[in-house]
Amino acid sequence: MRLSPAMFLLPAVLPAAVSPKATDLGVEILGLPLTNSVVTTWIIGLLIILGVRLAVGTPKLVPGKGQSVVEGLAVGLRDTLEPIVGKRMIGKTFPILCGFFVFILLMNWSGLLPGVGTLKFAQAAAPGDGHAATWIDLIRPANSDLNTTLALSVLSFGFWTYFVLRYAGIKVLAHDLFGNKADKREIGLVMWLLLSFIFLAVGGIEVVSILFRLISLSFRLYGNVFGGENLIHALGGIAPVVIPAVAAMLEVLVGLIQAFVFTLLSAVYIGLICNHEGGHDDEHAH
Amino acid sequence: MSLLPLALAASDSKITVLADKFGVDLPHFLAQVVNFSLLAFVLYRFAVKPALGQLEQRTALIEKGLADAKAAAEAKAEAERRREAILTQASQEAAALVTQAAATAQKTVEAAKAAAAAEAAEVLRRGQAALESERAKMLAEVRAEVARLVVATTAKVIDQSLDDAAKARVNEAAAKALAN
């Protein structure tokens, strides 16, 4: 269907459940049918870039307020991630991990902006259907679209594969997954051989769990954001004021936690294979 | 027909249903991959990286400043120690110079005193000598005058004119008498 200004309105109360999938707006750009989540991604992405660029400006040795804030956040995030991925890997992984955190956090919080989830357009029913027109969200938080969270998890998995193969190597990865970590001199050859089979089987399970990260990362984020949207909509149907604000405050926390969870898990997955310096550091520290 | 293709077909069908239920499709999936990649790149390349670069540069400058300040403090302490040593040495040298100058001045004063005393004695001696000479000269003149008066008186008394030879003898005799 095509959009027209006459279709827009701000409905007072629309307690209908949020659709689990993004809605096609009926507009195509370069052959890509635009959905409300893609439009939201573009708008929020543009606002993020403009906002950060305006805050930082031309970075100076004596920073302004905006640059200080961006520096503080970036350093805080880097200092949080450095013990996980290790000093050797933080410089290489920080760009992508920082991207995950900022993107997920602000896209999550974008769901709380006025207009997201309330600005709707009418979609006419099919001829002869007999049903009334339905109201479709014009804009939708990017992370409440499984395409977005799946894209993030696939990128996370792709970067994990790259970092592990590039900086740890296939040998380290294979030993980490399937290798027998027992000491042959302590337990004897027979027991060691028996354990080898167990480690091999555990490695198989580990491979499945690694592949399953694609599902767990994407559905965890999608589920939380989509669930939050539904919660706010449902509460808005019960009481249009006050109660949705409480739910929105909860969503602020959920958005932050989910951004941290996704970023930290991506860092942990990389650090588990690539960071072998933490243990030594700890030993030296003690 | 093998069971595996059937299982795969069933699985494929379930995945398709699931994807359709959640609206997952390749174009939108790829669009979001591109969207995120673009945002992450721009954000890091044009905001986070330059800001962190400035931060690291500032940290390096602060560390250098602190090291310089520490070096300056050490140099200042060293200069203070050297100044104290130089002052002590200068004080000792000044005291020695003052002592030496006092001794030299004492010597000079004493030498000047001695020279002044010697000169005063010489002046006194010369004065006495001049005085003595003047006295002798005056005495000689007095004698000569007295002798001339004696002669003149004698001549008047004897009412006799004396020739020059007689006058000379009388003068001589009178002078001898006065001299004795």
Q: Can you spell out the DSSP letters for A202-267? A: HHHHHHHHHHHHHHHHHHHHHHHHHHHHHHHHHHHHH-SSSHHHHHHHHHHHHHHHHHHHHHHHHH
Q: Please, which pLDDT band fits residue A281 given cuts at 50, 70 and 90?
A: very low
Q: B97 is written with which tokens? A: 């110079």
Instruction: Kindly provide the b/e burial profile for residues B135-148, where b requires at least 16 CB atoms within 10 angstroms of the residue's own CB.
Output: eeeeeeeebeeebe
Q: Could you read off the pLDDT of B24-52 as tens digits, one per residue? A: 888 889 999 999 999 999 988 888 888 88
d(CA B129, CA A156): 131
| Structure confidence at residue B46 (pLDDT) | 86
Q: Is pLDDT at A2 greater than 60 in this prediction?
A: no
**Structure confidence by residue, pLDDT tens digits, B145-158:** 888 888 788 777 77
Helix runs in chain A, H state only: 36-56, 65-85, 87-110, 146-163, 170-178, 184-187, 189-238, 243-274, 278-285
Distance, CA of A74 to CA of A168 (rounded, Å): 26
Question: Minimal Cα–Cα distance from B76 to chain A, Å?
Answer: 29
A120-138 pLDDT tens trace: 777 766 666 666 677 777 7
CA dihedral A217, A219, A224, A229 (to 10 degrees): 140
Let me know the angle formed at the C-alpha of B71 by B66 and B77, rounded to the nearest 5 degrees: 125
| Residue B25 confidence (pLDDT) | 86
pLDDT of residue B19: 84
pLDDT in tens, A215-230: 999 999 999 999 988 8
User: What is the DSSP secondary structure assignment for residue B44, as one 8-state letter?
Assistant: I
Would you call A22 and B28 a contact, using CB atoms and an 8 Å cutoff?
Answer: yes
**In the predicted structure, residue B10 carries a pLDDT above the cut 70:** no
Q: What is the pLDDT of residue A10?
A: 44
Residue B46 with chain A: CB contacts under 8 Å: 49, 53
Mean pLDDT, residues B52-56 taken together: 86
Are B23 and A100 in contact (CB < 8 Å)? no
Tell me the Cα Rg of chain B: 67
Q: Residue B89 and residue A266: Cα distance in Å, rounded?
A: 71
- A242-256 pLDDT, tens digit per residue, is 888 888 889 899 999
* SS3 at position A35: strand
Query: What does pTM read for this prediction?
Result: 0.70
Q: How many contacts does A have with B, using Cβ atoms within 8 A?
A: 130
Ranges of H-type helices in B24-48: 26-43
Of B33, B39, B48, the CB nearest to A74: B48
Test the B interface: residue of A18, A21, A96, A105 with most B CBs within 10 Å: A21
pLDDT tens, residue by residue, A110-121: 888 877 767 777
Residues B59, B71: Cα–Cα separation, whole Å: 18
C-beta atoms surrounding B72 within 10 Å: 10
Domain ranges of chain B: 12-179
CB atoms within 10 A of CB A81: 24
pLDDT at B177 over 90: no
Q: What is the ipTM of this complex?
A: 0.80
**Poorest-confidence range of A69-73, A148-152, B31-35, B150-154?**
B150-154
Which of A48, A59, A145 is nearest residue B50 as measured by Cβ atoms?
A59
- Per the DSSP assignment, residues forming a β-bridge with A120 are A9, A137
- pLDDT tens, residue by residue, A5-33: 444 444 444 455 778 888 787 788 888 88
Tokens standing for residue B116 = 């002044």
